[in-house]
Amino acid sequence: MNNYKKDFNAFLENFKKHVSKSGLKNSIQKDYILKILYFAEEHLSVEQIANDVKVKYKIDIGIATVYRSMKFFEELNIVESLDVGDGIKRYELNLSLHHDHLVCTSCSKIIEFTDEIIEEQQLKVASDNNFDLKDHVMTIYGICEDCQ
Amino acid sequence: MNNYKKDFNAFLENFKKHVSKSGLKNSIQKDYILKILYFAEEHLSVEQIANDVKVKYKIDIGIATVYRSMKFFEELNIVESLDVGDGIKRYELNLSLHHDHLVCTSCSKIIEFTDEIIEEQQLKVASDNNFDLKDHVMTIYGICEDCQ
DNA sequence: TTTTATGCAAACATTTTGCAGTCAC
DNA sequence: GTGACTGCAAAATGTTTGCATAAAA
């Protein structure tokens, strides 16, 4: 078993323990949704997630379940959503440190980045305005190298 | 006539000239939508715009017209849209220099800000990733002073 | 007069909800 | 066995589109 996979299993077990402790119930559907998100190379829409789960893991999953799960994951801060501008929400697992996005307006490619200076400056802006900062979204739109 | 109003008339005349030159037609509806946006103190949804136009200027205006107008304005870069996270697009006139937003997750208040350091750093991030930067959106979420 | 813009209603797309049945604990 | 979760279908929401009419140039 490679590290990547071991990491996912650890993550999943941890998640399930957390759910159990809250008195809620686990389900195969949520497990597979998380697995799809974990190994996804891009930000996925609800439709894509449902489809991927059906194709890869051969289980029945309704679109409503995916919507409900994403809402659940977002409340737990396990998942973050992003609207590229087409009115469709796309999701990614929120495993790593906070990061922001570069979106190519031509091919819709999404590149993640972090920038310490920007992060710091955001804290400053929030405090200057007496805001208790909770989160932020920063998306840069442009044309990627390949599309230029 | 105060300056504020004079400014709007100049802005409107300029806009109408631009429309005429493109061979398109002006309309009372667009004039009043712009007027509402110009004097708005907050970012407005399509529903709010339609309602404000009806109430303040007593003209008939269909929701479809507002949607079509907003699309038109966005293409001309006169208007910018913003999704606070509730799935409803809100609009503002794009008169000033670029600015970003602080959104209160409790009362939905929106505060605008600009930060030179962040702007510069964005340019750097884009160029580091070989992106041809077109635009960006940065929104900080938190709890405003009043709601704390 | 010609062409575009409007208003209405129908169509669409995405997301949410109600409910009966299933599954986890 | 109890209560939460699921799938389905219906409903709700936000946005777009087709078409006949009205208005601008």
**CB of B118 within 8 Å of any CB in chain A?**
yes
Q: Closest residue to C9 by CA to C1' distance?
A: B64
Asked whether the whole model's pTM tops 0.75, one would answer yes
Predicted confidence (pLDDT) at residue A85 exceeds the cutoff of 80: no
pLDDT greater at residue B84 or residue B118: B118
Scanning chain B, the segments in alpha helix (DSSP H) are 3-21, 28-39, 46-57, 63-75, 116-128
Domain count, chain A: 2
Is A45 (CB) below 7 Å from strand C? yes
Say yes or no: A81 and A132 in one domain. Answer: no
Q: What is the pLDDT of residues A86-137, one digit of tens each?
A: 888 999 998 867 788 888 877 777 888 999 999 999 999 999 999 998 888 8
| Domain annotation covers residue A85 | yes
Is B76 (CB) below 7 Å from strand C? no
Number of other residues whose CB lies within 10 A of the CB of residue A104: 22
Domain range for A107 is: 100-142
Q: What is the pLDDT of residues A5-22, one digit of tens each?
A: 568 999 999 999 999 998
| Domain annotation covers residue B148 | no
Say yes or no: A118 and A72 in one domain. Answer: no
Q: What is the CATH number of the domain that holds B10?
A: 1.10.10.10
Positions 89-108 of A with beta carbon below 7 A from strand D are none
Say yes or no: A25 and A80 in one domain. Answer: yes
Given this model, what pLDDT does residue B3 score? 53
Number of other residues whose CB lies within 10 A of the CB of residue A97: 7
Q: What is the pLDDT of residues B17-62, one digit of tens each?
A: 999 999 999 999 999 999 999 999 889 999 999 999 999 999 989 9
Say yes or no: A116 and A85 in one domain. Answer: no
**CB of A129 within 8 Å of any CB in chain B?**
yes
Cα–Cα distance for residue pair A99/A115, rounded to 1 Å? 8
Sign for the CA dihedral angle at A11, A13, A15, A21 comes to: negative
Tokens 């602080």 belong to B102
pLDDT greater at residue B54 or residue B99: B54
Is B24 (CB) below 7 Å from strand C? yes
Is B27 (CB) below 7 Å from strand C? yes
**CB of B88 within 8 Å of any CB in chain A?**
no
Which of B29, B11, B133, B131 is closest to B76 using CA atoms? B11
Q: Which residues of A touch B105 (CB under 8 A)?
A: 134
Say yes or no: B13 and B81 in one domain. Answer: yes
**Going edge to edge, which strands form the sheet with A89-93?**
A44-45, A89-93, A79-83
Say yes or no: A83 and A107 in one domain. Answer: no
Q: What is the CATH number of the domain that holds B134?
A: 3.30.1490.190
Q: What is the pLDDT of residues A34-65, one digit of tens each?
A: 999 999 988 999 999 999 999 999 998 999 99
- Tell me the backbone φ, ψ of residue A54, rounded to 5 degrees: -60, -45
Given this model, what pLDDT does residue B1 score? 45
Given this model, what pLDDT does residue A147 score? 82
| Domain annotation covers residue A16 | yes
Cα–Cα distance for residue pair B123/B138, rounded to 1 Å? 13
CA angle A5, A52, A17 (to 5 degrees): 45
Q: Which residues of A touch B102 (CB under 8 A)?
A: 125-126, 129, 131
As a whole number, the mean pLDDT across chain A is: 89
Cα–Cα distance for residue pair A89/A67, rounded to 1 Å? 10
Tell me which amino acid residue A70 is: M
| Domain annotation covers residue B104 | yes
Which of A3, A2, A5, A57 is closest to A30 using CA atoms? A57
Say yes or no: B43 and B67 in one domain. Answer: yes
| Domain stop point among A74, A93, A112 | A93
